[in-house]
Amino acid sequence: MAQDQLEKKRHTLAHLLAAAVLKDYPHAKPTIGPAIDNGFYYDIDFSGGEAPGDEDLKQIQKNMKKMLGSWKEFTHREVTADEARAIYADNPFKLELINELDEKGETITFYTSGDFTDLCRGGHTERPAEEIAADSFKLDKIAGAYWRGDEKNPMLTRIYGLAFEDKEELDAYLTQLEEAKKRDHRKLGKELGLFSFSELVGAGLPLWSPKGTGIRQRIDAFVQELRRAKGYQMVTIPHIAKKSLYETSGHWNKYSEDLFKVRAKEGSDDNDEYVLKPMNCPHHTQIFDSVPRSYRDMPQRFAETTMVYRAEQSGELAGLTRVLSITQDDAHVFCRESQLRDEIEAIWDIVNNFYGAFNFTLKVRLSFHDPDQKDKYLGDSAIWAETEALMKQIAEERGADYFIGIGEAAFYAPKLDFMASDSIGRTHQVATIQLDRMMPQRFGLTCVNEQGEKEPVVMIHAAIAGSLERFMAVLIEHLGGEFPLWL
């Protein structure tokens, strides 16, 4: 089954899930239910009565399989905003979506199969009863989720399901999940005495033992050894900065709600607001800009392993994969346009050498901007198109196994995101290379060229292991806790 068809199947099953829930929980208010990797989910409001628990998943799944036979086809109809509001008068979540569609002047469509109708853009299997095998999907778990991912919004119940082309693929994935449980880095990390967490310190703030610290240090030393061979110099920056630094970089407007803010002590003359740094690139621009640069000085390659801090929601924290304090093996190259290709190629070589040492297989996602959502990104569309074309050309010339991810770019730059396949077949996003023309422009970074004129420079962001915490989680599970002797 083509990936597009599988996604349609998963989306269809999200609708079927909502219909099955309403059979036993008529007070439920369905909100949204998309297809996701390996399956689907639906977020549902049960505030009007009883909510299901994990023990109820079998019955809901039974309802789904029973209903599936009557879902012969999908039909759709366009409705006016007023008609849609009347239908969902008692569902504030659907009303919010309807009002947004109305404000944008977009078409509002309802899709129906069996006895269930839902507000939806479309993208389903045409004949669910024929195209979906009843043994190719399985409800997985129940979790909490804020409406639209915002902790200020109501908490909903998210029901997850797994779905594959057939029973064989589903069973293979379930076997993989069982193996993953045995290799869970939280379990093995504790057994091996690598790290711990303390309620007194706080969730999402791992504490590394001498043994775990030693492994981290050797991994980082390997990264820096590969970088030194390519001409990188180590730098050091403070862990806080004035708010104005991030206003200039553009991060403040985008992420101010996700930052840890710091104030000078009471009574101090310093009235500035400070931030625990969420990234290192703005600091590094100031090192570059601290002295005049000639074309003879270019490129400048700065590297540093340091912590950054991001105020994740407590419900999103998970072992070492989502933490509040993130150790990054970060690097930034400041170069001329004519040097871009060579610098990207050099970083790519570092990535290959690093992950090859751990027997990871790599694919590359070309993380591009979404031209239909220009307001999400800084800068001119023409610059984005030019930058993305160069990245695609380099990937093709290297013979890389790549795919394009529209909408996956950072707000300031497209990315080469490396995806590592581990020993049990899972894929993890690991290293990244970002080609950035926007941030140097915002900080006015230049070098003096051969004609004695100021020339804008380009910036490359590069992380090899990326988050050392997350890489350690991936590595522990990839190796099953059996580290090579050199670690």
Name the active-site residue from 29, 140, 185, 281: 281
**185 carries an active-site annotation:** no
Rounded to the nearest angstrom, the gap between the alpha carbon of residue 367 and the centroid of all alpha carbons in its chain is: 11
Residue whose token pair is 């909502």:
18
Name the active-site residue from 61, 224, 300, 328: 328
**297 carries an active-site annotation:** no
Q: Which residue type is seen at 175?
A: T
CA distance linking residue 69 with residue 75, whole number of Å? 16
143 exposed, middle or buried (CB, 10 Å; 0-12, 13-18, 19+)? middle
**124 carries an active-site annotation:** no
Identify the bridge partners of residue 329 per DSSP, sorted by sequence position: 305
Coil vs helix vs strand at 264: coil
**330 carries an active-site annotation:** yes
CA distance linking residue 471 with residue 485, whole number of Å? 18
Q: Going by DSSP bridges, is the β-strand pair 402-406/361-368 parallel, antiparallel, or unpaired? A: parallel
Strand ordering across the sheet containing 273-276: 240-242, 273-276, 261-263
Using only C-alpha atoms, what is the Rg of the chain?
25
**286 carries an active-site annotation:** no
Name the active-site residue from 45, 118, 330, 422: 330
**121 carries an active-site annotation:** no
DSSP for 92-160, written as a single string: HHHHHHHHHHHHHT--EEEEEETTEEEE------S-HHHHS-TTSEEEEEEEEEEGGG-TTSPEEEEEE
Name the active-site residue from 415, 428, 437, 470: 415
Rounded to the nearest angstrom, the gap between the alpha carbon of residue 332 and the centroid of all alpha carbons in its chain is: 21
Are residues 303 and 270 in contact, defined by beta-carbon separation less than 8 angstroms? no
Name the active-site residue from 310, 369, 428, 470: 310
**322 carries an active-site annotation:** no
Provide the terminal-to-terminal Cα distance of the chain, rounded to the nearest Å.
42
Nearest 5°: phi and psi at 442?
-65, -30
Q: Which residue type is seen at 54?
A: D
Are residues 411 and 424 in contact, defined by beta-carbon separation less than 8 angstroms? no
Nearest to 440 by CA among 394, 379, 393: 379
Name the active-site residue from 332, 369, 437, 478: 332
Are residues 415 and 404 in contact, defined by beta-carbon separation less than 8 angstroms? no
Residue whose token pair is 């129906």:
112
CA distance linking residue 119 with residue 31, whole number of Å? 9
Residue 268 per-residue DSSP state: -
Name the active-site residue from 124, 461, 470, 478: 461
Region at 231 (left for phi over 0; alpha for psi -120 to 50; beta for the rest): left
Rounded to the nearest angstrom, the gap between the alpha carbon of residue 188 and the centroid of all alpha carbons in its chain is: 25
CA distance linking residue 260 with residue 325, whole number of Å? 11
Both structure tokens of 147: 């409406």
What are the residue numbers of the active site?
A: 281, 310, 328, 330, 332, 415, 461
